[in-house]
Amino acid sequence: MTLIRFKASQEQDVDLSRTYDAVVVGSGAAGGMAAHVLTTKGMKVLLLEAGKKLPIEQELRSMEWPYDHPRRGEFPPGNHAIRYNEYTIRQPPYAKKTAFKHVYSYVGGWGGSDYVKNILVDEKDHPYTGTRYAWVRARVLGGKTNIWGRLALRLSDYDFKGKTHDGYGEDWPISYADIEPYYDKVDLYLGISGHKENLRHLPDSLFQRPNKLTASEIRLRKSLGQMGRVLTPYRAGVTTDGVKHNKYRSKCFGRGACGRRPGGCDIHAAFDSPTGLIYPAMDTGNLTLRTNAIAREVLVDPKTGKARGISFVDSQNNRTYEAKAKVVILAASTLESARLLLLSKSRQYPNGIGNSSGHVGHNFCEHVMGPGATGLVKELVGRTPTLDDGRPGGFYVPRFRNLEDKQPGFIRGYGFEGGGGFSIFPSGAWDAPGFGGQFKKTVREHAGAFISMGGFGEVLARYENYMDLDPEVKDTWGIPVLRFHYEFGDNEKKMCEDMATTAREMFEHAGIEVVGVDKTILTEGWSIHELGTARMGTDSKTSVLNQFQQSHDVRNLFVVDGSSHVSASCQNPTWTIMALAWRSCDHLADEFQKGNL
């Protein structure tokens, strides 16, 4: 079958002599959404993206079988992905003094690294310093959405009103009712697959057709039901029924390729920002895109104190340029947006723009992960193979701790992501006993009988977990890099102990033989769900942004990515990032119309 690929029809030439209505920095989930909403409302928008525009289908090659690739998908020689032990034993910058030509984050070490070598940043060009941290970055058009894991979850008032619930931290300046209509808009515009469960702590989306659960997953779902817990099909940011209003995307064919490698769907059934948001925005005729444009500083009008544009470095020729705009919107991802705010020092804003509170870079939060379990469903050993992994995800077990109960030792909660059944590479093959023909027989017979799951827990936002600028180290373009001051606390460690215990308990309750329980806590940053470095709030002394992600200090400056989140919740953040960005940009466009910015 031939897929027809469309090019965005109305690509605009970049005109740096012009003052745009808005300049957006970053083209991932947040920046793509800002571009979509503002251009639809008629604003003329310039989108600056530090990375290049890749022929992404040629990179991802989702239909390529491992044996069709000369190295079964592995990196070419000279490339290296940082391993868990390196993150643990060494200090950043991890690529310093290595003999490898190119060094990538741990995600490059997943099967199929060759498909992401042009998507992930080379750590040699992009160092950072301080405490250990596994920082995964994708500097290309669309950012991390090109390879994300697709789990698309809503937050609830257990998250937005966490302080009211348990007394810790700060409540968000919004509640679920404020964001619910925007979650709905994101669901309908981008497509999401899933199954309704009517849970207060994990609100349902407007779902398209859900993934099928496998035999072992159905067994676990039934058993969890008896325990008062839930296993639901993976809520995937994937259109399983198609989105007719978008000509750049296809509905999911269930090939499972996105699950075999670090994400990626070359027919764009899985959401990615370029096909989901940016190309349609270009088709309005209101969007101009400048790639290879590394924002260096938010420029300030010394007379008014307002933002007047962005100074950026061309990554190819190293020259500096200015982009002028009436409104500046940062969406460079949580850590890069904080870096940009801190880099933007001026007479008016000596601590960095928007930082009169001193909270920029602070209150960092994310998800802690590592603990989980692997089990074997004995009754399924020897069964005829079925196509189990032809789907964009496995299952999700929503949070069940500290809802109506109160756990000793830790507050907040965690959920599990998992999967069971046959997969392209047979589960359990590495650990199977035997040799030769007997080994192969054992592997084949057991391949579909394994099930595993791993936890994602809320890391508490703490002022003392922060990032600032390193006074000495710079990246390849001479821009000061981030320095981390961050480590997990006691709450996270206690929560992880509980994760390992409950993973075992749930498998045992389902009559699944537990073949392994992992208690290792992975390095800080591993979840790739970084949040909180410019949080929203009602008090300008303790927060950076208001409820519309608008700077308390500079009214025409907005930061619409995960840096605005007040707490991490334990649900994956991307759907919330986009719903919030949509809400804020609706407000922004109204204020712009009224001349209030």
Give the full edge-to-edge strand order of the sheet including 480-485: 129-130, 480-485, 466-474
From ligand SF4, ligand FAD, none, interface partner of 534 (C-beta below 5 to 8 A by class): none
Please pick, from the candidates 110, 168, 253, 321, the single residue that binds ligand SF4 as defined by CB under 6 A: 253
Window 52-71: residues binding ligand SF4 (CB under 6 A): 62
- The residue within the footprint of ligand FAD, chosen from 238, 577, 580, 597 (CB under 6 A), is 577
Pairing of strands 129-130, 480-485: parallel
- 155 and 283 Cβ atoms separated by less than 8 Å: no
Pick the closer one to ligand FAD by CB: 220 or 559: 559
Cα distances (Å, whole numbers) of residue 522 to 205, 256, 411, 526: 30, 26, 20, 6
Residue 342, both tokens: 């801190």
By CB under 6 A, the residues from 54 to 93 that bind ligand FAD are none
Q: Which is nearer to ligand SF4, 249 or 462 (CB)?
A: 249
Residue in 109, 111, 242, 254 binding ligand SF4, rule: CB under 6 A: 254
Q: Judged by CB under 6 A, which of 22, 27, 156, 216 binds ligand FAD?
A: 27
Tell me the CA end-to-end span of the chain in Å, nearest whole number.
50
Q: Does 572 bind ligand FAD (CB under 6 A)?
A: yes
Yes or no: say if 261 and 423 are a contact pair by the CB < 8 Å rule.
Answer: no
Tell me which of ligand FAD, ligand SF4, none is bound by residue 238, counting a contact when its beta carbon lies within the kind-specific cut-off of 5 to 8 angstroms.
Answer: ligand SF4
Choose among ligand SF4, ligand FAD, none what residue 536 binds, the Cβ cut-off being 5 to 8 Å by kind: none
- Residue 34 interacting with ligand FAD (CB under 6 A): no
Contact of 396 with 417, CB cutoff 8 Å: yes
Q: Does 562 bind ligand FAD (CB under 6 A)?
A: yes
C-alpha to C-alpha distance for 35 and 44, rounded to whole angstroms: 9
What is the C-alpha to C-alpha distance for residues 98 and 542, in angstroms, rounded to an integer? Answer: 41
- Binds ligand FAD by CB under 6 A, chosen from 22, 23, 29, 300: 29
Q: Which stretch binds ligand FAD (CB under 6 A): 8-16, 394-402, 570-578, 587-595?
A: 570-578
Binding to ligand SF4 (CB under 6 A) within 379-408 occurs at 391-392
Q: Is 270 among the residues that bind ligand SF4 (CB under 6 A)?
A: yes
| Segment interacting with ligand FAD, rule: CB under 6 A, options 9-17, 147-155, 204-212, 356-364 | 147-155
Least distance from C-beta 455 to ligand SF4, angstroms?
23
- Distance between CA 25 and CA 487 in Å, rounded? 29
For residue 312, give the amino acid letter.
F
Which of the ranges 22-30, 76-84, 247-255, 549-557 carries the binding residues for ligand FAD, by CB under 6 A?
22-30
Per-residue x/- track, 189-208, ligand FAD (CB under 6 A):
--------------------
Residues 498-537 binding ligand FAD (CB under 6 A) are 528-529
The partner in contact with residue 269, picked from ligand SF4, ligand FAD, none with C-beta cut-offs of 5 to 8 angstroms by kind, is ligand SF4
In 228-280, beta strands by DSSP E:
232-233
- 116 is an interface residue for ligand SF4 by CB under 6 A: no
How many Cβ atoms sit within 10 Å of the Cβ of residue 534? 29
Residue with the shortest CB distance to ligand FAD: 28
Determine if 103 is a binding residue for ligand FAD (CB under 6 A): no
The whole-angstrom distance between residue 468's C-alpha and the CA centroid of its chain comes to: 22
Q: Which of 297, 300, 278, 299 is nearest to 289 (CA)?
A: 278
Cβ atoms of residues 197 and 207 within 8 Å? no
Return the range that interacts with ligand FAD (CB under 6 A); candidates 157-165, 503-511, 518-526, 573-581: 573-581
- Spatial separation of the C-alpha atoms in residues 407 and 461, rounded to whole Å: 19
* Residue 496 contacts residue 455 (beta carbons within 8 Å): yes
Instruction: Give residue 280's Cα distance to chain centre.
Output: 22
Is 187 an interacting residue with respect to ligand FAD (CB under 6 A)? Answer: no
Strands of 276-359, DSSP E: 287-290, 293-300, 307-314, 320-330
3-state SS assignment for residue 335: helix
* Residue 224 interacting partner from ligand SF4, ligand FAD, none (CB closer than 5 to 8 Å by kind): none
Q: Is 376 in the site for ligand FAD (CB under 6 A)?
A: no
Phi first, then psi: give them for residue 545, nearest 5 degrees: -125, 155
Angstrom distances, CA of residue 193 to CA of 90, 264, 436: 40, 17, 42
Q: What is the DSSP letter of 125?
A: T
Smallest distance, Å, CB 105 to ligand FAD?
A: 9
Local structure of 129: helix, strand or coil: strand
Reported as type and span, the H/E element at residue 187 is helix 176-190
Asked if 267 is part of the footprint of ligand SF4 (rule: CB under 6 A), the reply reads yes
- Residues in 258-297 at the binding interface with ligand FAD, rule: CB under 6 A: 262-263, 293-295
Judged by beta carbon distances under 5 to 8 A according to partner kind, the member of ligand FAD, ligand SF4, none in contact with residue 50 is: ligand FAD
- CB 236, min distance to ligand SF4, A: 7
**Contact between 287 and 45 (Cβ < 8 Å):** yes
**Which residues contribute to the site for ligand SF4 (CB under 6 A)?**
62, 238, 252-258, 265, 267, 269-270, 391-392
**Which residues contribute to the site for ligand FAD (CB under 6 A)?**
25-31, 48-51, 107, 136, 138-139, 143-145, 147-151, 262-263, 293-295, 331-333, 336, 340, 528-529, 561-562, 572-574, 577
